[in-house]
Structure 1
């Protein structure tokens, strides 16, 4: 196997066309041919995305003679070239116009590039050192203020040689898997740093903004402290980068070993001069940061056995995602309550919203959390408008499973064991050396290290489609669970003083130029019984043209058993008979009956 270094150069000379160029220098090697490939998916996002489709051009030549080499395309993401073992260089161009945290994107302000979208893997060199130069042409004044940021280890400071034509930032990684795990931001950005227990954190936000970075750092610090304390030393990171792409709209997060990439609406963050109010959107941002930083341990190092050395050319199936995304979804919000970012009732309202999603989700009776994990590639990541009727989210149900498991561990151990202890066992036995967890890991650790058998619980709520009986479990922590009807179409659940609706249409609607367009129809409710279909436009009820508020008022005040709904479908006017059904009580809310008990559970008493 070769011990020489692979050298990549990434250049943004064609950013106006949403393109960047990569040059790859391969040293002399033992084989007659080289096999090149680009991943088809990115770890943490379980869908085949076929990144190779964005390669615009690809060529190769011998390094010494500059003679062109013939490249043969083997499949959608693999190429071979005959080199006779000689050094060669490979040049290719990639189109980058996907504003997400999973691929690559370039605009007038920055370029964001994931390694899985940019860097060809060279067979036989995956375990050798990989080096990267990020190159910006000096002559292009439109990007003269841009610079490069990544969590990859720097090889040299950015430098501009006298008389040179480019600025460079140089990085290195010990192997291909590490090389592609550091997203790269190149452009204009604001940064802010803070430190906890010797770990350096950098906040990066695209563009120049009037955002209150000191406040974000102040609010994020105790959340990071909580995760560091939970798993204990030695910490797996010395430096960590929160990389946030700001947009008018958009939401997302993707974990990496030493960083996370986030996408968030710019005006949903606190600006300089704003009040100290903790808005819903800002709470969501802090929870997102909490979620992704928790993945530093739980997903990036503690991981399913099939994800230790995943095949990036195809799907890698596991039924364990409920453990990873589910448990992390529990901790992202409970951490905000534990450190005092949100009050106790606000935390319970957030949990109630998750419970409400499940109660509205007929798919939870058809697909188990384990099946949801296994089918993530084809169902969860490829949802259509009928998804709520047919599948369940391993994030949402997994988070409720984690909540219930914590309560069961406490109950069966006389409050000597909790979910935190299980997390530390996962880290100690599977995370520190990244050995990968088997499917029965939760049962195994609870039984053999905590002396608690939770097989009955896991069988019911993970491998079958039973609901977590939170209403029976939470009494021990001074809380009760209740349900009510919606108060409006925008109602997400939680405690409210507003009056519930009387009747439920049974579909999600959005405003149209005339009436309302149907974007989702719920199984078992009035709209489906009436034969209302996706993409129908509801224009009138009993002859009255409707908007959302008028529709609800007509339903609630009608004294008949049904109403006539006029819809436009495929250019035709259709009249349907909609039965009037009492609104289903599928909105959850919690009451705190014993504040001392609940504060003790949170660890704040």
Structure 2
């Protein structure tokens, strides 16, 4: 097939406009149709990227105008032409996230799903994209960061032509434009780039490279313990630094990340901040996706249908298991201590048990409904849904410990991940893609470990009862117990929206606030006659004992309400995991779990 040729230019950075052209050498003689994806893999929500196309026109090889009609929300069809057909269009890019596109006079970023129209019927054709520099002297230091392979004549990090084997590969390599800090390290012989865009001061790039190297090599060895062969020829961590932000999105040979500038390590300061631990966990999470979801995929994603929702009940395995391994890799590589790891697990347990939605929705149901529930959370979300990320990570923990306990630590969840990799992931992009069937999970676990965990999977992933964490941790000499608020502060059972006003973002089911008739959206203005703000609620509540009755004044819309609230016992924000059995056998089990 003849290649599809794209050009993308940051045409008007101040207006946040990319200009894109796509040229088809052999368009459909009946009229060529073009489609822009409605969602981006890894972020399970229909986002309607086509809404950001501002202008669109078509021309023939001879330069004549060609009529174009829009036939649905994301598809255009050009009239028949002889010879080449070119579409030229503008894309508005003002979404500072990892999911879409962003452009101003300081930096640029785009995912292919936001900017590259797909000529229907040509999805398998090779693609060439010419990434051009914005005009003007102020952009002379701009560079290009992407895992897309360079075409002949283009230097790495330079503007010019890049290539992809097909449309699916083209849109799976995000691109960062601008001035950025850069560092490179090898992980088992494969180059990995670290790109830091945005105003980041005194970032310790050497430390960051050394820490990420440990993470990457541990994950490569987990999936390929003998060959230590990475599934990529090159990998790029690209991070946009902001004042307040967090997130990541996986791709087949790179990841797009956003973090607070204070999260990154500072040259000359050896301490590890909580923000830096969180950032390393995010990098670990997205890198693990290189195997788990980018190559090992649910059958519903093999291949993706980018025109609509793709439903699967297995995101608890793909996102939940990845959430389990992201911090587990940190402790296995010595980047955090076992006590710090237990603290992270305890925080997750507290978060899961705080919401009553866990008793109504299983993680399998949460996976299937992610398009309309998890990614579209409202004020009732804690009472109606459960996260397949957080509870999914605890499901993985239970399965790992159960396998280890039944096999005296000879087998583990690692063996399951390796089987999934060998069966479904290793050759995913080399032949006909095959995804993990929804109905074979239990059989795959049994094949990999010799342990029948069907009942546990049924209860943990497809049921709504709380997980048997205490029983699972006991053979490893670890106990788990609730850790109430240290200050003994009574609770309203609410989550407050940030800001000057004390606006209730969510009211937990059965809480003191709900029993008193308070609702999400209410603005608390006084407790027992004292003014409440977004910053002093905890201090005011700390002056009371659990069970105390207080008078609360609040606005609902423009109506003043007054109600009596009987304060609850302190919230359990987290659970404590403690080593209680230090016998040699138990200690060795823990070491193999946390340090193998």
TM-score between both structures, scaled by the size of structure 2: 0.94
Flag the 1:146–1:602 CA change in 2: closer, same or farther, 3 A.
same
Distance 1:278 1:309 in 2: 41
Contact 2:199 2:241 in 1 (8 A): no
Residue of structure 1 equivalent to 2:512: 526
Distance in 1, Cα, partners of 2:333 & 2:505: 39
Match of 2:56 in 1: 58
SS at match of 2:414: helix
> Equivalent residues in 2 for 1:278-427 (5 A)?
278-427=272-421
**1:551, CA displacement in angstroms?**
2.2
Residues 151-162 of structure 1: pairs in structure 2 closer than 5 A: 151-158=147-154
Contact persistence 1:34–1:82 (CA under 8 A): yes
The answer on 1:215 being equivalent to 2:202 is: no
Matched with 1:70 is 67
Residues matched between the structures, number: 578
- Mapped to 2, the partners of 1:565 and 1:71 lie a distance apart of 60
Q: Which residue of the partner structure matches residue 164 of structure 1?
A: none
**276-285 or 588-597, larger mean C-alpha shift:** 588-597
SS in 2 for 1:405: helix
Distance 2:407 2:221 in 1: 23
Give the SS at the match of 1:591. Answer: strand
In the other structure, the counterpart of 1:32 is 30
Contact 1:48 1:315 in 2 (8 A): yes
Does 1:148 find its partner at 2:144? yes
Q: Does 1:267 align with 2:262?
A: yes
Contact 1:39 1:313 in 2 (8 A): yes
- Describe the shift of the 1:474–1:18 C-alpha distance in structure 2 as closer, same or farther (beyond 3 A): same
Q: Aligned residue for 2:544? A: 555
Unaligned runs of at least 5 residues, structure 2: 429-433
Q: Is residue 9–residue 134 contact of structure 1 (8 Å, CA) maintained in 2?
A: yes
Query: CA deviation digits over 1:162-189, x for unaligned, max 9?
Result: xxxxx84110111010011010111111
Report the equivalent of 1:110.
107
- Compute the displacement of 1:584 (Å): 4.9
Structure 2 residue aligned with 1:590: 577
Which secondary structure state, in structure 1, belongs to the residue aligned with residue 378 of structure 2? coil
The aligned residue for residue 431 of structure 2 is none
How far did 1:208 drift? 6.0
1:494 corresponding residue in structure 2: none
Query: How many Å apart are 1:450 and its aligned residue?
Result: 2.6
Structure 2 Cα separation of the partners of residues 549 and 452 of structure 1: 48
What SS class does the counterpart of residue 58 from structure 1 fall into?
strand
Say which of 185, 191, 203 aligns to 1:200: 191
Distance of 1:253 and 1:513 partners within structure 2: 29
- The answer (yes or no) to whether the contact 1:363–1:392 under 8 Å persists in 2 is yes
Match of 2:567 among 580, 588, 592: 580
Task: Tell me the residue number matched to 2:467.
Answer: 468
**Range 520-529 or range 532-541, more displaced:** 532-541
Q: Deviations over 1:555-582 (max 9, x none)?
A: 328xx75221111222232210112333
Q: Does 1:500 align with 2:488?
A: yes
What does residue 271 of structure 2 align with? 277
Of 517, 537, 546 in structure 1, the residue corresponding to residue 523 of structure 2 is 537
More off after superposition, 427-436 vs 439-448: 439-448
Contact in 2 for aligned 1:198/1:238 (Cα 8 Å): no
- Scaled by the length of structure 1, the TM-score of the pair is 0.92
Question: Is the contact between residue 328 and residue 594 of structure 2 (CA under 8 Å) also seen in structure 1?
Answer: no
Q: CA deviation at 1:510?
A: 4.8
* C-alpha displacement of 1:598: 5.9
Distance 2:499 2:15 in 1: 35
> Could you report, residue by residue, the CA deviation over 1:388-413 in whole angstroms, capped at 9, with x for unpaired residues?
11100000010000000001111222
SS state of the match for residue 12, structure 1?
A: strand
Give the Cα–Cα distance (whole angstroms) in 1 for the partners of residues 516 and 49 of structure 2.
43
How far the C-alpha of 1:38 sits from its partner, in A, is: 0.3
Aligned-pair Cα RMSD in Å: 1.8
* Preserved contact between residue 512 and residue 537 of structure 1 (Cα < 8 Å): no
* 484 and 149 in structure 1: CA distance in 2 versus 1, 3 angstrom threshold: closer
Q: In the alignment, is the contact (CA less than 8 A) between 1:337 and 1:602 conserved in 2? A: no
String of CA shifts for 1:321-341, please: whole Å, max 9, x gaps.
Answer: 000000000000011011110
Q: Which consecutive residues of structure 1, in runs of 5 or more, have no partner in the other structure?
A: 160-166, 488-498
1:57–1:92: 8 Å Cα contact kept in structure 2? yes
1:146–1:187 CA contact under 8 A, matched in 2: yes
Cα distance in 2, alignment partners of residues 24 and 512 from structure 1: 45
State whether residues 34 and 83 of structure 1, in contact with CA within 8 Å, keep that contact through their aligned partners in structure 2.
yes
Q: Take 2:448 and 2:273, find their aligned partners in 1: how far apart are those partners?
A: 41
| Partner Cα distance (1:376, 1:339) in 2 | 32
Are the counterparts in 2 of residues 541 and 554 from structure 1 also a CA contact under 8 Å?
no
Question: Which structure 2 residues correspond to residues 79-118 of structure 1 after superposition, within 5 A?
Answer: 79-118=76-115
Distance in 2, Cα, partners of 1:281 & 1:603: 22
Change (3 A) 1:412 1:389: same
Distance 1:443 1:512, change over 3 A: closer
Secondary structure of 2:152's match?
Answer: strand
Report how far residue 196 of structure 1 moved.
Answer: 1.8
Greater Cα shift, 573-582 or 102-111: 573-582
Question: Judging changes above 3 Å, is the alpha-carbon distance between structure 1 residues 447 and 550 closer, same or farther for their aligned structure 2 residues?
Answer: closer
- Write the distance in 2 (CA, Å) between the matches of 1:508 and 1:462: 27
Label 1:574 to 1:29 Cα distance change in 2 as closer, same or farther (>3 A): closer
